[in-house]
Amino acid sequence: MSSTVPCAAPAFSDQRRSRSHQWLLLLELCCETKELSQLHSTLVKLSLIRNPHFSARLSLSLSTIDLSYARQLFDQNPDPNAFAYNILIKAYSKTHRPIEALTLFSHMLDEDSPKPNKMTFPFVLKSCSVETGRQVHAALFKYGLETDVYVNNALISMYMKAGSCFRNAMKVFDRMPQRDVVTWNTVIAGLASLGLVKEARDMFDAMPERNVASWNCLIDGYFKQGLIELARELFDRAPVKDVITWNTMVNGYASLDRMEEGRDLFDRMPMGLKDLTSFNLVIDGYSRNEGFEKVLEIFHEMRGLEICPDRFTLVSVLSACSNLSALEQGKWVHLYVKRLNIKLDAVLTTALIDMYAKCGNMERALDVFVHTEKKDISVWNSVISNLGLHGYGKEALEFFFQLLETDVCPDEITFLSILTACRHSGLVEEGRMYFDLMSRKYDITPKAKHYGCMVDILCRAGLLDEAKALIEAHSGEEFSVATWGALLDAASRLGNVEMGEYAAKPLLELDPKDTRCYVALSNLYSRGKEWDESAEVRKQMRRRGMEKLPGCSSIEVNGVVHEFQVGSAFNTLDEIV
């Protein structure tokens, strides 16, 4: 029969193969829904979509770009094979809806469905809680996959993540007929993340062959347990250091608030190795430690290297701008977002509104708010709190009423913002009303900060006895320095010595070095002409080597942030002019 095949067939087939190859290449190269949708139509027109190679490649490309489109395609397929299932299961396992992956997997268990294979299980296990994971583990045996290395690695990972099940993970490890370097690394990472660093180190020492990830896993594990010296020692000894090794170190130091060492390593990272993550780690570290000038400095360096910031970078930078009142740089970020067509999600919008408001430009803040289509509660909170902070108490309340007309639900921050607004505008009656409303109608239990705010509202109105009663009725709360401070300030202002002493006691316990407390108490005694007490307080202050700290502030001029202290205005002005 073979002799009857026409001679021209190989050439014809080569041609077709080459054309098929081109289609597949094209499908692989597409990175936008629009392009893939056009290719999809063409494949349908040419009836090529029935070819499983093409439809599979199309689904694969779509699954990373537009999952709902990929799902549509899958649902239209009357006879999906295991590959088609695996593509979607893998894609869903990476989303916040892993339940979809499990639903698809359960379809595969039906008699007339394609059988799950060794590519299916790792992604199913990734989507599982440990309870479901146990059932999936049992199902492996039915398909003869209990010895597969990839599947077992996923099992170990699943049990390790459940924490209390790490013994199950070790059982899987012990029973594996073959292990690879990933198996060992998964165990090391799992043990280390559970705080079992000694056991992780034993595995690291015992493993037959290490790769750079093995070193990275253990370094990270040491940092997570605060074992900085051991992490550093391992880093210095590591034969190969990749970008993750360096970033793990930067992150380790930053997460333990050791920014000097983190920055030192960041600066020493080989040129060309620093990536967006390296920058985000160091920016985030500075941001958490209130090193806002440094945030802007690093951001500047990043732009110089033409590394594109992502939304995480931009949010941290906007937050730094808010804290430094750096309006020009904040505006630059806003323009950048517009120019690159970056989607303004809730977090970015909130940060943007806050930046404009904190830089004193409430109009622009409101403009961003008005142009936000879908207003998340954090977006509302940002506007309400900033209106309140700027003394626009009534306007803050108006926005709150508008909010109540939408289907967005106020949260505890909304009420804190409302109470702050009442506090800044002296709205005592309204304060009482909303304080009551939050628990009565919205089922939000007031926290120490809410009580603190309410106490301050009452104190500012001179209602010290009511404030004290509120504190005493909620003695279980841990009131902050600010709350006791508010009571002390008010007592001091009104010359109420008894109340001043009542507030000073817990205040000094909370922060024995709080100079304001000594100053307020001393002034209070002076006003009451209790000179001996007043002198005693000042003496105590000196004995403890304390001085009253000068207040400080900052402004931005021509994109440069200047900080100045009370009493140094002339120096600062010279510097600016």
Query: How is residue 348 written in tokens?
Result: 């970015």
Kindly write down the DSSP assignment for every residue of 19-81, as one continuous string. Answer: HHHHHHHHHHH--SHHHHHHHHHHHHHTTGGGSHHHHHHHHHHHHHH-HHHHHHHHHH-SS--
- Find the shortest distance in angstroms from Cβ 186 to DNA: 4
Query: Rounded to the nearest 5 degrees, what angle is found at the Cα of 278, between the Cα atoms of 274 and 279?
Result: 100
Q: Which residue's CB is nearer to DNA, number 293 or number 536?
A: 293
Beta bridge partners of 563: 554
Q: Which residue's CB is nearer to DNA, number 39 or number 244?
A: 244
Q: Which residue's CB is nearer to DNA, number 311 or number 538?
A: 311
Tracing tokens 């190859």 back to the chain, one arrives at 21
Query: Rounded to the nearest 5 degrees, what angle is found at the Cα of 254, between the Cα atoms of 253 and 256?
Result: 65
Q: Which residue's CB is nearer to DNA, number 35 or number 199?
A: 199
- Find the shortest distance in angstroms from Cβ 30 to DNA: 24
- Find the shortest distance in angstroms from Cβ 348 to DNA: 5
Q: Residue 562 carries which DSSP code? A: E
Q: Which residue's CB is nearer to DNA, number 24 or number 119?
A: 119
Tracing tokens 């900060």 back to the chain, one arrives at 449
Q: Cα torsion for 269, 271, 276, 281, to the nearest 10°? A: 20
Instruction: Report how far apart, in Å, the C-alpha atoms of 372 and of each of 125, 346, 358, 387 are.
Output: 39, 9, 19, 17
Tracing tokens 């006691």 back to the chain, one arrives at 505
Q: Which residue's CB is nearer to DNA, number 190 or number 500?
A: 190
Q: Hey, is 553 helix, strand or coil?
A: strand
- Find the shortest distance in angstroms from Cβ 455 to DNA: 11
Q: Which residue's CB is nearer to DNA, number 346 or number 508?
A: 346
Residue 525, Cβ neighbours under 10 Å: how many? 22
Q: Which residue's CB is nearer to DNA, number 248 or number 496?
A: 248
State phi, psi for 163 to the nearest 5 degrees.
70, -75
Q: Helix, strand, coil proportions of the chain in percent (round to 5)?
A: 70, 0, 25
Q: Which residue's CB is nearer to DNA, number 486 or number 520?
A: 486
- Find the shortest distance in angstroms from Cβ 9 to DNA: 43
Helix boundaries (H) for 109-255: 120-126, 130-142, 149-161, 166-175, 181-193, 197-206, 212-224, 228-237, 243-255
Q: Which residue's CB is nearer to DNA, number 329 or number 382?
A: 382
- Find the shortest distance in angstroms from Cβ 27 to DNA: 25
- Find the shortest distance in angstroms from Cβ 154 to DNA: 6
- Find the shortest distance in angstroms from Cβ 99 to DNA: 20
- Find the shortest distance in angstroms from Cβ 400 to DNA: 13
Q: Hey, is 554 helix, strand or coil?
A: strand
Rounded distance between C-alpha atoms, residue 458 and residue 92, angstroms: 53
Binding site for DNA (CB under 7 A): 122, 153-154, 157, 181-182, 185-186, 189, 211-214, 216-217, 220, 242-245, 247-248, 251, 255, 275-278, 280-281, 284, 287, 310-312, 315-316, 319, 322, 345-348, 350-351, 354, 377-378, 381-382, 385-386, 388-389, 412-413, 416-417, 419-420, 449, 453, 456, 482, 486
- Find the shortest distance in angstroms from Cβ 13 to DNA: 38
